[in-house]
């Protein structure tokens, strides 16, 4: 039985105030603006999702872009009050499911070199560090690792994914809306 329940659905305009509040609490003055998220909701290549608690409050979000056969993972963030409850992993699972639904073969992203927690999650799902973008983050000029998956339709990835999803289901109940 899962320890926690989360609902995940596409981000809507009505979510933007809560998303911006989580963004500001997490990243301080160098966060994405409400307008930036609003623009992404109208981008035909973008998919943004929110995680909701049982009171339908936004507790996390993530975004990706479909670029031919790649999904570029643009952002993920979980409210400080809900970290370490597998919400981020549930959102990452939704990203992978979105890729399967849309026949996207590869996942790519940039992650801060100091963000070992996120790197651990991505590595757990089979992504590999294939390079560094020097000075990628504008707030402090920190470098970013460039991480990529192998083809997610290959058996190797599917096996890793299935094992991780089974483990995740023991920790968190996910309802897709």
The answer to whether residue 110 is catalytic is yes
Res. 137 pLDDT band, cuts 50 70 90: confident
Sheet strands (E) in 79-156: 106-112, 128-133, 144-148
**Annotated catalytic residue: which of 48, 49, 122, 145?**
122
Domain boundaries, the chain: 4-176
Indicate the fold that domain 4-176 takes in CATH: Aminopeptidase (3.40.630)
Q: In this predicted model, what pLDDT tens digit does every residue of 74-102 receive, in sequence order?
A: 999 999 999 999 999 999 999 999 999 99
Determine the average pLDDT of the residues in 44-59.
96
Per DSSP, what are the bridge partners of residue 78?
60
Percent pLDDT > 70 in the chain is 98
Catalytic pick among 57, 70, 110, 173: 110
Task: Count other Cβ atoms within 10 Å, centred on residue 35.
Answer: 10
């Amino acid at each position: 039985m899962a320890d926690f329940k989360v609902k995940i659905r596409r981000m809507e305009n009505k979510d933007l105030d809560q998303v911006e509040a989580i963004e500001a609490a997490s990243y301080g003055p160098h966060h994405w603006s409400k307008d930036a998220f609003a623009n992404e909701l109208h981008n035909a290549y973008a998919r943004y999702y929110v995680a909701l608690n049982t009171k339908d409050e936004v507790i996390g979000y993530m975004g990706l872009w479909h670029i031919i056969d790649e999904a570029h993972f643009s952002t993920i963030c979980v409210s400080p009050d809900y970290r370490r409850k597998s919400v981020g992993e549930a959102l990452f699972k939704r990203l992978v499911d979105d890729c399967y639904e849309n026949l996207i073969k590869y996942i790519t992203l940039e992650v801060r070199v100091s963000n070992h927690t996120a790197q651990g999650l991505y590595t757990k799902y089979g992504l590999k560090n294939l390079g560094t973008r020097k000075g990628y983050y504008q707030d402090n000029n920190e470098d970013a690792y460039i991480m990529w998956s192998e083809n997610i339709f290959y058996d190797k990835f599917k096996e890793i994914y299935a094992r991780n999803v089974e483990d995740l289901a023991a920790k968190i109940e996910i309802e897709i809306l």
